[in-house]
């Protein structure tokens, strides 16, 4: 072998930004107009098959509507499968006795449970959260959607929309067979990043409004951890002592995870976190993936130095880096921090939750949780913890008795469009409130509500004219325990 064609040991060099493709200055080319085949004409078209999109499609399908669900990957589940996020939070209120979430979110958990693929974190009952098997979730969600009469289009990207005033006239998708159009009475955006709504040219809110987004994490699974090994808290404490050092400067170390459902020697680890990226930007998304895989190697190397983890090995890396936040719609009602923490009830409530506001610092280490009971706690970059009260009460004051918060139907309705609903992570909430409603059991409820509303929107009508009371009736019939103020 000559020196010329000898393989080199190439290394990733940081910072990465200069190595990535990026838009070429102000250059553009005209795209010629063309006729594209209509792939489907339906009542409801849902884009994105994550927790929200799956439930929107299933709810509309069960209401007897013609539904098409478009997903860019070869499987459903969004972050629960593609990003390996394997925890579904509690269905119960803060009292741990009152069931506040049911419907399709609960049905998905039961279907996973029947396959042994969901384990409650509370051994004494089922008021805790659920650790699930992300792989089993893929076929549980196939069954749910197909069994609800939904037409599924996998490996298909939403590429663009054709707009007619305040309505979307067609959605253009791109797949292995090329480009095609989908025509629907109502379009549901379940893409997590508001792709559908942004393609319609409508303004959205990115992150905290200044463009700072909660950082994404790439999750991975590690096997071969021995019985008696240092637990994850110990691993965290050890890792947090050393900032990552690959970026020409100290970079905050991050690790969160839990044991897998089938084998306690296997763990899902969210051991990476990339700052300063917007996952709805192709260049940032690319940088985040490569940089997170580098962080993963850094973590794995140190993990092997810990007692009981010496023989650990990488089982797999999630198909994509997990996104916590990017674009959200500007809705008829933008849910606020005060409404979430105060447990505000709404006359048009369509979902309920108890998960706290959980904000990963967009610019550095640390996570801030604000709980419904009046307390906050901050986890520092070194693993340290601080507590306090956000309600101005002294430290020892009794906890607030807020059972849950609600999300109104108006938070699913984009201000500038008439035949579109947004469900899940991209629903209308400000940065803080989104930090609470973004979790999957909440997104599933928002999806179910969007599907139920889309199903009763008369042809050509606005989703704004839908009677929220009728949506609530449908949800209650479908075992959603909405607490109505009337």
Q: Are 78 and 322 spatial neighbours (Cβ–Cβ below 8 Å)?
A: no
Cα–Cα separations (whole angstroms), residue 48 to 217, 397, 399? 20, 44, 39
Say whether residue 428 binds ligand FAD (CB under 6 A): no
- 181-240 residues in contact with ligand FAD (CB under 6 A) are 190-193, 195, 216-217, 219
Q: What is the contact mask toward ligand FAD in residues 137 to 176, using x (rule: CB under 6 A)?
A: --------------------xx------------------
Residues that contact ligand FAD, how many (by CB under 6 A): 40
Q: Give the residue, chosen from 65, 324, 400, 431, that forms a contact with ligand FAD under the rule CB under 6 A.
A: 324
Say whether residue 323 binds ligand FAD (CB under 6 A): yes
Q: Give the residue, chosen from 53, 207, 257, 271, that forms a contact with ligand FAD under the rule CB under 6 A.
A: 53
Position closest to ligand FAD via CB? 50
Say whether residue 451 binds ligand FAD (CB under 6 A): no
**Residue 461: is the preceding peptide bond cis (ω within 30°)?**
no
Say whether residue 257 binds ligand FAD (CB under 6 A): no
Burial class of residue 42, CB neighbours in 10 A (0-12, 13-18, 19+)? buried
Q: How far is the CB of 203 from ligand FAD (least distance, A)?
A: 18
Q: In what order do the strands lie in the sheet with 357-360?
A: 357-360, 367-370, 375-379, 385-389
Which span (37-45, 51-59, 244-252, 393-401) binds ligand FAD, by CB under 6 A? 51-59
- CA 481 – CA 468 distance, rounded (Å): 16
Q: Give the residue, chosen from 43, 65, 69, 78, that forms a contact with ligand FAD under the rule CB under 6 A.
A: 78
The conformation of residue 121, written as its DSSP 8-state character, comes to S
Q: Closer to ligand FAD at the Cβ: 400 or 408?
A: 408
Q: How far is the CB of 310 from ligand FAD (least distance, A)?
A: 26
Q: How far is the CB of 72 from ligand FAD (least distance, A)?
A: 4
Say whether residue 349 binds ligand FAD (CB under 6 A): no
Q: Are 397 and 389 spatial neighbours (Cβ–Cβ below 8 Å)?
A: yes
Strand ranges, E, within 79-137? 87-88, 118-120, 130-132
Q: How far is the CB of 29 from ligand FAD (least distance, A)?
A: 22
Which span (59-67, 178-186, 371-379, 438-446) binds ligand FAD, by CB under 6 A? 438-446
Cα–Cα separations (whole angstroms), residue 7 to 1, 10, 13, 250, 290? 10, 9, 18, 31, 21
- CA 352 – CA 375 distance, rounded (Å): 20
Query: Which among 154, 198, 219 has a CA at the least distance from the CA of 414?
Result: 198
Q: How far is the CB of 412 from ligand FAD (least distance, A)?
A: 12
**Other CB atoms closer than 10 Å to residue 345's CB: what's the count?**
16
Burial class of residue 200, CB neighbours in 10 A (0-12, 13-18, 19+)? buried
Q: What is the contact mask toward ligand FAD in residues 79 to 98, using x (rule: CB under 6 A)?
A: xx-xx-x-xxx---------
End-to-end CA distance of the chain: 81
Query: Which residues bind to ligand FAD, rule: CB under 6 A?
Result: 47-53, 70-73, 78-80, 82-83, 85, 87-89, 157-158, 190-193, 195, 216-217, 219, 270, 322-324, 424-425, 438-440, 443
């Amino acid at each position: 072998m000559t020196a010329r064609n000898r393989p080199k040991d190439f290394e990733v060099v940081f910072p990465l930004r200069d190595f990535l493709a990026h838009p070429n200055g102000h250059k553009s080319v005209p795209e010629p107009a063309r006729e594209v085949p209509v792939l489907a004409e339906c009542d409801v078209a849902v884009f994105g098959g994550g927790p929200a999109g799956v439930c929107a499609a299933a709810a509309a399908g069960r209401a007897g509507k013609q539904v098409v669900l478009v997903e860019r990957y070869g499987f459903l589940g969004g972050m629960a499968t593609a990003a390996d996020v394997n925890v579904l939070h509690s269905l119960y209120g803060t009292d741990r006795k009152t069931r506040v979430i049911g419907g399709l979110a609960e049905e998905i958990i039961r279907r996973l449970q029947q396959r042994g693929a969901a384990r409650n974190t509370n051994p004494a009952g089922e008021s805790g959260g659920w650790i699930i098997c992300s792989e089993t979730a893929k076929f549980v969600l196939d069954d749910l959607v197909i069994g609800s009469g939904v037409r599924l289009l996998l490996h298909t990207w939403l590429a663009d929309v054709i707009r007619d005033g305040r309505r979307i006239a067609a959605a253009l998708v791109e797949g292995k067979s090329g480009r095609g159009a989908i025509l629907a009475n109502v379009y549901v955006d379940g893409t997590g990043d508001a792709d559908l709504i942004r393609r319609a040219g409508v303004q959205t809110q990115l992150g905290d409004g200044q463009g700072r987004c909660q950082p994404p994490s790439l999750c991975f699974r590690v096997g071969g951890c021995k019985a008696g090994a240092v637990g994850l808290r110990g691993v965290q404490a050890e890792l947090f002592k050393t900032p990552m050092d690959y970026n020409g400067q100290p970079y905050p170390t991050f690790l969160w995870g839990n044991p897998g459902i089938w084998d306690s020697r296997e763990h899902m680890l969210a051991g990476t976190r990339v700052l300063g990226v917007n996952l709805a930007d192709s260049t940032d998304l690319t940088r985040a993936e490569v940089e997170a895989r580098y962080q993963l190697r850094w973590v794995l190397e140190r993990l092997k130095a810990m007692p009981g983890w010496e023989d650990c090995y990488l089982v797999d890396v999630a198909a994509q880096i997990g996104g916590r936040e990017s674009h959200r719609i500007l809705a008829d009602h933008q849910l606020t921090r005060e409404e979430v923490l105060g447990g505000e009830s709404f006359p048009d409530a369509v979902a309920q939750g108890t998960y706290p506001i959980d904000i990963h610092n967009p610019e550095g280490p640390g996570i801030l949780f604000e709980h419904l009971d009046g307390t906050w706690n901050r986890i520092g970059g070194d693993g340290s913890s601080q507590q306090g009260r956000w309600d101005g009460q002294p430290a020892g004051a009794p906890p607030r008795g807020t059972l849950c918060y609600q999300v109104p139907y108006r938070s699913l309705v984009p201000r500038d469009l008439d035949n579109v609903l947004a469900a899940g992570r991209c629903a209308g909430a400000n940065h803080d409130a989104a930090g609470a409603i973004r979790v999957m059991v909440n997104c599933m409820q928002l999806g179910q509500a969007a599907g139920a509303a889309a199903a009763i929107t008369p042809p050509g009508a606005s989703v704004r004219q839908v009677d929220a009371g009728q949506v609530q009736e449908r949800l209650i019939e479908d075992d959603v325990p909405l607490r109505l103020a009337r």
